[in-house]
Every structure is written in C-alpha cells, then in structure tokens.
Structure 1
Amino acid sequence: MLLSINPKTGETDKRRTLRLQSFGLDERALQGILFRSLDRLFPDDELLLLMQSRAWQEEPDLMAIDREGRLFIFELKAWESQASNLLQVLRYGQLFGSMGYPELDVWFKKSTDPSQSLKTAHRAKFEVELPEEAFNRKQVFVVMTNGMDYRTREAVRYWRSGGLDVRPWVYRVYAGVPDEMLLEMSPFRVCDNPYEDIAEGYYILNTNFKNSPQDHNDMLSSRKAAAYFDPWKFKIERLARGDMVFLYQSGVGIVAVGEADGTLIKSPYQGRAEHPDEEYAMRLRRFQTVSPPLTAQEIKQITGINHVFMSTMFGLDVDSGKAILKHITQPQPPQITTA
C-alpha cells in the first residue's frame, strides 16, 4: 500500500495501484528491469544462486539453493491476472524438481566460474557440508504477481493449504510525477532481515576469501573493493564517492577499511579472457588494514546489532558505521588483567 500524506493537515489518501499496461510496459519489460536490479532483490545471505536465464526458453528465470539444500524455483515474468502464472512455475518443478546433484552442479558451473563445484561454493557460503543426496530433496516455488492479481494469489493460498510450498512475490506499480512509474516491491526473503535496505554511506563487503583466497589477497594488495559475476558485481556499482567500505574476511572479521573513490573499474575476472568484465571494482582511498581484525562478535558488540555476514555486501546505518570506524581508527585503551 502507498499512502499520499499531506504533512500540513495530516490527511491521507491511498494511491491507486495500476497495471503495467498503463505505462506501456509488458511482463518482458518488467523482467528486464528486475534483472538489472537483481543484486538488490535477491537474498544472497540466504540463497546461493544456481542459475539465471534471460533466454526465452522453457527454464526458470532463477534457481537457487538454500542452506538445507532446498531448490528455490522463481518465475519472474509477472504476468497479470493469468492462471498460467502459477502453472508455469509448477511446470518448472516437474522439469527440474527431479534433478540430482550432478545436474545441479552443471547448471551452477555454467552460470559462474566452472572451476568451482556447487558443493564447494555451498560449503563456503553456509559453512555446512551437505551430502550430494541432500540437494533438491524439496522444492520451493516463488511466483511474482501484481498486487491486483487476486486470481494468482488465491491459487497460491489454495496450493499452500494443500502442503505445496508456493510463495507469492508481490509487486505494485503507481503513477509518480509525469513520465515516472513507481514500483513497490520488497526483496525476496526466506526470513525477515530488518537491516537489508539500509544504505547510509557505510558498507561491509565480503572479500570472497572462502571461495577464492586470490580474490581476497587482490583486494588487499590493490586497495580496492570488488565483487564478481552477475548480479553480485553490480553491488560495487552502487557505491558512491566518499562511501566507507569495510573489507570483511569470512571467519576472521574486518581486515581493512577505505573510502570509495567513485570510479567504477570493469576487468576480466582474475585476468582470464573467458570472463570479461566479470569483476567490478572501485579503488579505496585512505586505505588502512585492521590489525588485529575486528571480529563479527566485536562488530555486534559495538553496534548492538546481530548482523549476518553471508551477503556479498550490505549497508550499515550511520551510527553503526561511525562507531566501527571510530573503534578501528582510534587507539583502544589497554586491557587490564589481574594476576
């Protein structure tokens, strides 16, 4: 729901939800817009992206694996008021729900660095060791739908009551100023994260150490913030000049900090010609290493927030960012020990 509020009188008026056609758009156009913003909508702290498709073939728009090995199948075409919304994603379940680990591994390698297996990437992200038979034991179906599309939402409710894990991903569109469309849509979440949308000039960026120590070392030696492959590389594109970036090594803590210079650099991933422009990076000015590293527990104590450090990059509120920066840059009082 979007309310228009008169701050002087306190009067409110509910804005009318519209359909895509009102703006000359169809589901393909919206899908393209969403793919370009996928790094903001997809929860990489909860799901490992298996594949994404931009080709118009009979395959899911997105597939992902969670910590327990459940396969999430996404239908993002956003058709409005058509029963085929739900039928399409269930059709994908029929086609892909029986895939074993070897087939999932092939999909994963086609979408990312083929030198890394799905099991290795899953273990690095979630810090659990799943046997191959645990992958894709269960499926979760996610279908995007307009808030006005009551037919699809009723169907989702019906199938959920029968035990099928189908979840709606609801969006709504509104008219803004002339020639502007407002899109109301929350990032998809397995569980709620109240800190996911904070962006006030302070960020924690994972150095990708568990997937590739080479990436981690390159960030530190080159004094840069970097992310790799579509869509996670686009997170670097969101950084603005002057933003403070804390480089976080998984299992260790914040190992360096610097100020983004605002200039995006696109490079082949690890210098390999077969992965052109798969590294997005930004130089960090006033760069300094943090020794000893600031651990996850210390970060939580300083900020009072139970942050989850599995995302590629996430924002901090101003107070938390300043508190961490102060702790890093100012000498700490010596610890008093007793005999």
Structure 2
Amino acid sequence: MLYEFSDGKISPVKFFSYQEIFGKEKDLENLLARNMEELFYGEQIMTIFQERSGQQAPDICGLDKDGNLVIFELKREIVSDSTTIQIMRYAQVWGQYDYDALNERYKTWRAKYKVTVQELADAHKKYFELEEPLLRDKFNLTQRLILVGNSADGNLLNAIKYWKSQKLNIDFAPYRFYEIGGQTYFEFFSKPYDIHWNPVSNKAVMFDTCKTYIPDAIWDMFKAHKVSAYGDAIYCVNYLNKGDTVFFYHKGWGIVAAGKITSNNPKDLPENEERYHSVDFLTPIPSPGNELRCLSPAEIKQALGKGFYWARTVKTPYLNEAEAKKLIEMLNDKYNVEFPNPMARE
C-alpha cells in the first residue's frame, strides 16, 4: 500500500484497478507477459503460452529453469475465492500435459507472431542458457499457480492459506495503479519480497550485447562509446543511470568490456530501433579482428560466489561496488593493463 506522508502522519493513497484505468483484461495480460523479467525480478520465467480470445485456458503459462510449469490467472479487479477453483481446473488439465502437448501449444502460440518457431526444448535451452536441452521427461513435473489481481477479498486469502497448508504451490500477486500529479503509476508486489534496486542508486549491471539478433551490434557500441538495446528490448536501457557501471556481456563469451554511464538520459535512434547511453570505458576497447578477452559465466560465478540470470538483457542480480571492481580488475588482467581505482574513474 502507498501512503502519503505529511507532518509525521500517513494516509493511504487511493488506488485503481486496471479496469478503471484502461479497461481490457487482455491488455493487463500483455503488460504482465511483456514485463515478466522486471516484475518477477530475481527469478526467471519463460512465457510459453497466452490465452486466445474465447479460449478456455490459463491467461499465461510459463516455464522455470527446471521445466516446471507456472500458470497465471489475471483479474482486472478484486480476486474472489472462486478464482482458486478456476486456476486449479487449469492446473488439472495442463498439469497432465507431457512434453509433446506443451511443445504443440508453444509452437501454435509463437506462430501467431510470424517468427521462427523452435522446438520447446531448444527454446528453453536458449532462454536459460543451459549447456544441454532439458530432457523431455523433465518438463512439467510440478506446477506453480499465481493469481494476479487488484486486491483480494478475505475469502481468497483464506482459500490460499488453506491450499498452501495442503502443500499446493499457489500464491496471490497484487497490483495497483495510482494517479499522482497527472501521471499514472503501476505498483506490483514481487514474491516472496521486493528486492528491486533503488533506481537512483549507482549500481553495476551486466548488459547483453544482442549478439543473438544483431551479431555486429557490439562493434558499433564500442566504436561509438555507448551501450545499446534494440527493438522490443529498448526499454532495458532505461534501467541504467549516469554513474552506473555497465559490463558488456557477449553471449557465448561472457563479459568482454566495462564502462561507466556518462549521459544523463538515454537517446533514441528510431531508424535503428535503438536506444543507448554514452559510456566511458574502464577496460580496453576491443575491435573487430582482434581476439576478445572475456570473463566467462563460470569465472564470474566463481569470483563472486553467486549465480545470475543470464537469459535476460539486464542480467540480475545487480552488482555492488566491490563486486564490480573485482570483475574490472580481473578483465584488465586478461588484457594485461591496470587501472588503480576503476570505480572512481570519470
């Protein structure tokens, strides 16, 4: 809940449902599906299906890294306890699907967008950057149910508490819209707790170079001293702020360069479907034809003692100053150069 704070007192701010702000439930579904990485920060969910109009199916289905099914049911307003019966009915049907059934529905959904359709196992391997595709019999071993709504009535919370006690993996994720000063704000409650980084705090981020879709984009970034995102992913540049450290993550290699964001605001190049921030490099700048030096994912994990969600454009979790400094020094060692205080360079 958001509160107004004044003279040492708090008062709740009025919030709105999606129906009151925009209306269509399908738009709320698209909002969630297109921003899964940001809204469910700290975990990875690969969207594999969205409901078609008039179809009796879950609003959204996804897979986690282990191939387990995540089923979403969305409501524009209050979620009642009867919704638990609805989502469990979907889980009863979809929970029985084997790999072939999931693969068929994934391909049908992807074909709607007229894109190259992969086998589900191959797409899952690519999304989560696994060394080998998951075995077919490892898909859909368990199901996780998530109800999304503006708010919940007491009966729903009691129902979820009961089903949890029966070992059913079910949860409620509330959202709210606010109108403040003529601007619309969206609030989403991550589970089990919100671990988002404060946007105004300087941070260090591993950022994908888009090698999969634009193999030569990295060389344009290095030449122009910038970090860029393209197409549907351009919004990812908005996560970066002046003073942040950015690590250029090149798929199949790892971290190949690092720099500090110098621009106050990102800029757009509409002709390229590109958005970028300017950077000053903290490591040598690679050039085409020369061997790339890199820190592999395995080296990064060993150095920092934790794993990351490599499939995202913005890799999470973010890094603190000490972690970033360590990686910069390691990469500079590979290039046989030394920056005494890389995090302090302007």
Q: CA deviation at 1:174?
A: 4.8
Gaps spanning 5+ residues in structure 1: where?
268-279, 335-339
Paired residue type of 1:114: T
Distance in 1, matches of 2:339 and 2:240, equals 33
Q: CA deviation at 1:95?
A: 3.3
Q: Percent identity at matched positions?
A: 24
Paired residue type of 2:144: V
1:289 aligns with 2:290: no
Contact 1:75 1:89 in 2 (8 A): yes
1:40 aligns with 2:38: yes
1:263 aligns with 2:297: no
Q: Deviations over 1:120-156 (max 9, x none)?
A: 2323415254221111122111111334532222221
Provide the aligned C-alpha RMSD in A. 4.3
Q: Deviations over 1:39-68 (max 9, x none)?
A: 521458522221234745323222111122
Gaps spanning 5+ residues in structure 2: where?
222-226, 341-346
Contact 1:145 1:152 in 2 (8 A): no
Look up the match of 1:114. 116
Look up the match of 2:61. 63
Q: Deviations over 1:179-233 (max 9, x none)?
A: 455433134x5x7683566574753223466xx4xx37333244363467x6x56
Q: Secondary structure, in 3 states, of the residue corresponding to 1:294?
A: coil
Q: Determine which of 49, 52, 61 is the counterpart of 2:47.
A: 49
Contact 2:254 2:297 in 1 (8 A): yes
Distance in 2, matches of 1:73 and 1:265, equals 36
Q: CA deviation at 1:161?
A: 1.7
* Structure 1 runs of 4+ with >6 Å offset: 240-243
Paired residue type of 2:4: S
Look up the match of 2:188. 185
Paired residue type of 1:116: Q
TM-score by length of structure 1 reads 0.70
Q: Secondary structure, in 3 states, of the residue corresponding to 2:167?
A: coil
**Cα distance 1:197–1:284, how it changes in 2: closer, same or farther (>3 A)?**
closer
Q: Deviations over 1:249-290 (max 9, x none)?
A: 3564211346686215576xxxxxxxxxxxx54467567339
Contact 1:17 1:148 in 2 (8 A): no
Distance in 2, matches of 1:192 and 1:251, equals 32
Distance in 1, matches of 2:19 and 2:135, equals 49
Distance in 1, matches of 2:183 and 2:256, equals 42
**Cα distance 1:166–1:225, how it changes in 2: closer, same or farther (>3 A)?**
same
**Cα distance 1:65–1:325, how it changes in 2: closer, same or farther (>3 A)?**
closer
Distance in 2, matches of 1:266 and 1:237, equals 19
Distance in 2, matches of 1:312 and 1:167, equals 27
How many corresponding residue pairs? 309
